[in-house]
Amino acid sequence: MSNFLFTNVRVFDGSGEDPFPGEVLVQGDRIKRVACAPEAIERGDASLVDGHGATLMPGMVEAHAHLTWPSSVERVINAMKLPIEEHVLVTAQNARITLDYGFTSAYSAGALGERIEPALRDMIDAGFMPGPRLRASALEKGAEGVMGVPEGHDPTHDRDIDGLRAYVFDKKKEGCDTIKFLLSSDEGFAPGGSQVLMYSEEEVQAIGEAAREADIWLACHAQAAEAVKRAVRAGFRAIFHCVHADEEALDLMEANRDHLFMVPAPGLLYARIHEAQDFGIGRKEAEKLGAISGLEAQQRIVPEMRRRGIRVLPGGDYGFPYNPVGRNARDLQLFVDLFGFTPAEALVAATRQGGELMGLPVGEIREGMLADILLVDGDPLADITILQEKEKILAVMKGGEFHRSPGCGYLVS
């Protein structure tokens, strides 16, 4: 493994502090030193990367990843179910694309297969294929007929407490890092579905207790206010959507803000409203699917969560044909345009706070952290949209190795 010294760069370190001109030394898979100009770092045997004034920033974290959702910017597939052989290969392709676009870590929000993501994670970690650091999940746990829950899978829903506990321990044994439960339904599943609760308080508490015993994280789809509350009370780590969160739910989340993360996933709602016409979803259909009302609700709720210090992270349900993998950085723009984040706040959410979600030493450029680093042509604090352009991401480094190396004009030696 080589050592690298990044010089002549503007460093956004992920902490929220202002960027600064400086140098960063990478030794092995870690960041060894960070210096602010005019301080310089001794080069030693490190290869020199001259950024020519480009921005050096932490790799981003996709906080609501669906790598098994088939569509990407390279290949749109107007279907969610594929033959398993093709599905596994498409998932591997999506993992590489996610990394291509600067997302060096991904927290799964559910997969279309029980063992695809744990196997993919292990292959990535062993260096056999490219992809982000992955917190792997299995099939979303919910009612049969809901997307992500195929026919014949768990038809009894294992509603007794022993069955739910066994399910949690089975997922841990299969290598999952996290399990996603559908604690509420969704307008996209059935009219009025967002207010339909899928698990009782007793069931959710049993799930939470089993997860603590098994040492596995929990994530959930929670639209209804009571679903959000049940998730918080049971110790869920990642709570997705939260469209109907009420004052009591917000109070609970604030009281537990050190232990949870909220991921609103505006990307899917935005795409359904503005970009899905070619797939049969016009404005009326988007309204029926809850996209319009959902996005309006999030525009009220997310700023209030941010005011209360609740960590709200980008991650937008990418992988649908009208919302493909590779477009993930658009969520940062939506955080700015719709939720009132500054570009710096959106970047902190996608880097440092994303690293906190992952539970890994990533998301910041500081000594001792894993060297997951992007070299960006331009200033994302001035224009957050440049992170959506692959050609603007000059280099992607993960664990001290270049997945996408800078051109010869940047890599001096």
Looking at residue 155, what is its pLDDT? 45
| DSSP letters for 212-246 | HHHT-EEEEEE-SHHHHHHHHHHT-SEEEE-TT--
Q: What's the confidence (pLDDT) of residue 151?
A: 55
- Using DSSP's 3-state secondary structure scheme, residue 179 falls into strand
Residues 49 and 105 in one domain: no
Q: Which residues form the domain of 143?
A: 60-358
Let me know if residue 259 belongs to a domain. yes
Laid out side by side, the sheet with 238-241 consists of: 178-182, 217-222, 238-241, 261-263
What is the number of domains present in the chain? 2
pLDDT at residue 158, rounded to an integer = 58
pLDDT at 143: 58
**Would you say residue 108 lies in a domain?**
yes
**Domain assignment present for 335:** yes
On whether both 121 and 203 belong to a single domain, the answer is yes
Distance CA 287, CA 293 (A): 7
Q: Assess if residue 250 is contained within a domain.
A: yes
* Rounded Cα–Cα distance for residues 320 and 77 (Å): 8
**What distance lies between CA 39 and its chain's CA centroid?**
35
Do 326 and 387 sit in the same domain of this protein? no
Angle between helices 247-255 and 225-234 (to 10 degrees): 20
Rounded Cα–Cα distance for residues 396 and 374 (Å): 5
Judge if 185 and 80 occupy the same domain: yes
- Do 368 and 303 share a structural domain? no
The pTM of this model reads 0.95
Residues 152 and 295 in one domain: yes
Q: Which residues pair with 141 in a beta bridge?
A: 181
Q: 25 and 172 share a domain?
A: no
- CATH code of 38's domain: 2.30.40.10
> Are residues 147 and 179 both part of a single domain?
yes
**Which residues, including other chains, have CB under 8 Å from residue 143's CB and lie 6 or more apart?**
149, 157, 182, 185, 198
- In this structure, are 316 and 276 located in the same domain? yes
The answer to whether residue 283 is domain-embedded is yes
Low-confidence ranges of the chain (pLDDT < 70): 1, 142-159, 412-413
DSSP codes, 348-407: HHHTHHHHHHHTSS-SS-STTSB--EEEESS-TTT-GGGGG-GGGEEEEEETTEEEEPPP
Instruction: Say if residue 153 is in the same domain as residue 208.
Output: yes
CB 301 within 8 A of CB 263: no
In a domain, 409, yes or no: no
The pLDDT of residue 156: 43
Q: Do 113 and 198 belong together in one domain? A: yes
In a domain, 231, yes or no: yes
CATH assignment at residue 161: 3.20.20.140
Q: Does residue 304 lie within any of the structural domains?
A: yes
Cβ–Cβ under 8 Å, residues 270 and 264: no
* Domain shared by 50 and 82, yes or no: no
